[in-house]
Amino acid sequence: MPTIVSPSSAQTVLTTFETTPGTCQDLLDLLNAAYTEVISKQPGFIAAALHVNDAQTRIANYSQWQRREDYQAMLRSDEMRKRNRVINELCRSFEPVMYDVAAVF
């Protein structure tokens, strides 16, 4: 389970996927499979959460990693490159952005 604290030594990554109501569930299934089968088993993985908006046009992903390099290594793996090509076909765009926790309320 993600834990949000400030200051944090963890690397936070927020990714927004733009999709359509017709492909949202398929994309969500692929993301769930990627986390279950690959991502959650990678070195440095701490936790993640997937969120879907009411219109099913966006999926937001919050993930935490021990280090920035751990996240980058996961993205560069052959398995995730292959999966991300398929994921990319189901969405208009997706962009992972790294953040530092600035405050918690």
Q: Where are the domains of the chain?
A: 11-99
User: What confidence category does residue 3 fall into, taking pLDDT thresholds of 50, 70 and 90?
Assistant: confident
Q: 95 to each of 6, 58, 59, 103, how far by Cα in Å?
A: 24, 12, 11, 23
What would the pLDDT profile of 43-95 be if each residue is shown by its tens digit?
999 999 999 999 999 999 999 999 999 999 999 999 999 999 999 999 999 88
Short-list 47, 97, 42, 48, CA closest to 73: 42
> Tokens 């690397």 appear where?
11
What would the pLDDT profile of 12-22 be if each residue is shown by its tens digit?
999 999 999 99
- Fold type of domain 11-99: Alpha-Beta Plaits (3.30.70)
pLDDT of residue 7: 85
